[in-house]
Chain A
Amino acid sequence: MTVRVQQADFDVGAELDGLTRGNRKIGGLAVFVGLVREMHTRDGLHRERIDAMTLEHYPGMTEKALEEIEAEAQRRWPLEATLIVHRHGRLEAGDRIVLVAVGSPHREAAFEACEFLVDWLKTKAPFWKLEETPSGEKWVEAHEGDDAAAARWAKK
Chain B
Amino acid sequence: MKVRYFAWMKRTVGLPEEEVMPPAEVRTVGDLVVWLRARSAGHAEALAAGAAFGAAVDQKTASFDAPLAGVREVAFFPPFTGG
A→B interface (CB under 8 Å): 34, 55-58, 60-61, 64-65, 86, 97-98, 118, 121-130, 139-143, 146
Contacts and interface: CB of A to CB of B under 8 A. Distances in A.
Interface string B67-83: 00000000101111111
Contacts of A98: 82-83
Nearest to A120: B83
- Return the 9 tightest CB-CB contacts between A and B, nearest first: A127-B82, A142-B79, A122-B83, A128-B7, A61-B59, A140-B81, A129-B81, A139-B8, A60-B59
A98 B81 CA distance: 13
A142 B83 contact: no
Given A56-B7, A60-B59, A124-B61, A129 B82 contact: yes
* Interface size of B as a range: 10 to 19
Which has the most chain B C-beta neighbours within 10 Å: A58, A97, A141?
A58
A128 B83 contact: no
B7 to A, nearest CB: 4
A34 B83 CA distance: 7
A128 B8 CA distance: 9
For chain A, what secondary structure do more than half of its interface residues adopt (helix, strand, loop), or is it mixed? mixed
Contacts of A61: 56, 59-60, 75
B59 A128 contact: no
Contacts of A56: 6-7
A143 to B, nearest CB: 8
11 contacts: A61-B60, A97-B83, A98-B82, A121-B82, A126-B6, A126-B56, A126-B80, A128-B6, A139-B81, A140-B81, A142-B78
Contacts of B80: 122-128, 142
